[in-house]
Amino acid sequence: MSSLSTKQRLRPKEIENEIDERGAFIRQPNHFTTPFGEGEGELKAEAGRYRLFWAKGCHWSNRASIVRELLGLTDAIGINLVGHSKENSAFGWEFVYNEDRKDPVLGAQFLSEFYYNADPDYQGRCTVPALVDITTKQVVNNDYHRLTNYFETAFRPFQAPDAPDLYPEEIRQEIDDYNDWLFPNVNNATYRMMFAQSLEAYEEAFEDFYKALDEIEERLSKNRFLFGDYVTDSDVRLFVTLARFDTHYYRNLGPIKRRVVDYENIWAYLRDLYVIPAFRNNTYFRDIAAPRSENKSLFQDFNSRFVNQIDYEGIWSAPQTRKELSKTPEEKFKRHGKGNE
């Protein structure tokens, strides 16, 4: 069905290229990190110029798709999903959901084509999120650390008039510091566990992760969201990781200390976020929980066996009382131009 371009290269494997001498997973750095801004050499935010590519199972890219919708950037920034096909998975992300497996706007079959257009010598994994300039068909930014922040700031002129302020200037440094803490201890800690090649590295990541969850559970006992009454960029980053833990990440772990649903405050907090349309619309639980193998004669994990019987929507929409912690119980967002009334 597909015709491979001569430019295609086999996707590098994490356990062959991103493991240090201790057996610990050291994630590859982002390659396209030019910031958006008004300075010399910086990327310019323009409506209609860029296309965001993301994947249902990838929380790094899921955060960008959620923020795009939350801010009302759906007309300003195009979007498409990538996935893996059985026959071409060795070549990385492919436009498997589209006719002829081609992105309908840019005509590529594989995400990697935009990477090689931008840097013919690129040797790393071609990752999502990837923001592509449709005029050049080149990746211009794959920096998941900062991409949502650019949507929140540089793309402000193209946001909906009542868009939430997810990155308030008065607490921006606090949000940045908290995000820097979330990355190794929560967001990447799941991968540090899953890709660890030594017990020492695994246990180190395991302890970091569960210590962080204990701290977050305590923080959320007093705050509706991480920074009080309003959803911020940090809440998006925490949600996308924890939404995948009980449905997928656990598969590649040994005995776990607790499930996410076993944390009273965290679990209610996640459900409070899930009922927001942008979170719900961009979270594909059945795809995340889907079997890793089609061979039903093999032992399969719980979610693989019962993925079509589990009522994810009902579970995640169960009532919670988080708004009791808020001074603005019916408003989850600080809006641009408005105070915290």
- pLDDT, one tens digit per residue, over 52-88 is 999 999 999 999 999 999 999 999 999 999 999 989 8
Distances in Å between the Cα of 50 and the Cα atoms of 13, 83, 105, 131, 302 are: 28, 20, 11, 6, 40
136 and 177 co-located in one domain: no
Q: pLDDT value at position 241? A: 98
Domain count of the fold of the chain: 2
d(CA 174, CA 159): 23
Instruction: Specify the range with the lowest mean pLDDT, choosing from 26-35, 114-123, 211-220.
Output: 26-35
3-state secondary structure the chain: CCCCCCCCCCCCCHHHHCECCCCCECCCCCCCCCCECCCCCCECCCCCCEEEEEECCCHHHHHHHHHHHHCCCCCCEEEEEEECCCCCHHHCCECCCCHHHCCCCCCCCECHHHHHHHCCCCCCCCCCCEEEECCCCEEEECCCCCHHHHHHCCCHHHCCCCCECCCCHHHHHHHHHHHHHHHHHHHCHHHHHHHCCCHHHHHHHHHHHHHHHHHHHHHCCCCCECCECCCCHHHHHHHHHHHHHCCCHHHHCCCCCCCHHHCHHHHHHHHHHHCCHHHHHCCCHHHHHCCCCCCCCCCCCHHHHHCCCCCHHHHHCCCCCHHHHCCCCCCCCCECCCCCC
Domain boundary pick from 103, 125, 158: 158
43 and 113 co-located in one domain: yes
Q: pLDDT value at position 3? A: 47
Residue 297 has pLDDT above 70, yes or no: no
Q: pLDDT value at position 14? A: 83
Region 131-139: mean pLDDT is: 98
Token pair listed for 245? 């833990």
Q: pLDDT value at position 40? A: 94
81 and 184 co-located in one domain: no
Residue 296 binned pLDDT confidence (cut-offs 50, 70, 90)? low
Q: pLDDT value at position 19? A: 86
Residue 340 has pLDDT above 70, yes or no: no
Domain boundary pick from 128, 158, 188: 158
253 and 153 co-located in one domain: no
139 within 8 A of 115, measured Cβ to Cβ: yes
279 and 197 co-located in one domain: yes
Degrees to nearest 5, angle at CA 233 with 232 and 236: 100
Residue 260 has pLDDT above 90, yes or no: yes
Residue 338 has pLDDT above 60, yes or no: no
Which residue among 115, 116, 150, 191 is the active-site one? 191
Q: pLDDT value at position 27? A: 86
Region 226-230: mean pLDDT is: 98
Token pair listed for 159? 């946001």
Residue 188 binned pLDDT confidence (cut-offs 50, 70, 90)? very high
Is the CA virtual torsion 271, 307, 102, 127 positive or negative? positive
Backbone phi and psi for residue 278, each to the nearest 5 degrees, phi listed first = -65, -35
Query: 58 an active-site residue?
Result: yes
Instruction: Specify the range with the lowest mean pLDDT, choosing from 7-16, 92-101, 169-178, 309-318.
Output: 7-16
Q: pLDDT value at position 89? A: 85
**CATH number of the domain encompassing residue 177:** 1.20.1050.10
Region 215-241: mean pLDDT is: 98
**CATH number of the domain encompassing residue 106:** 3.40.30.10
134 and 201 co-located in one domain: no
Look at residue 92 and tell me if it is in a domain: yes
Distances in Å between the Cα of 44 and the Cα atoms of 50, 68, 140, 322, 341 are: 10, 17, 11, 39, 34
Query: 191 an active-site residue?
Result: yes
Region 236-257: mean pLDDT is: 95
Which residue among 58, 126, 150, 230 is the active-site one? 58
| Max Cα–Cα distance, the chain, nearest Å | 59
Region 168-175: mean pLDDT is: 98
Q: What percent of the chain has pLDDT over 90?
A: 82
Q: What percent of the chain has pLDDT over 70?
A: 95
Domain residues for the domain of 83 are 14-158
Look at residue 204 and tell me if it is in a domain: yes
Is the CA virtual torsion 10, 18, 251, 308 positive or negative? negative
146 and 50 co-located in one domain: yes
153 and 191 co-located in one domain: no
193-203, pLDDT tens digit by residue? 999 999 999 99
d(CA 283, CA 57): 9
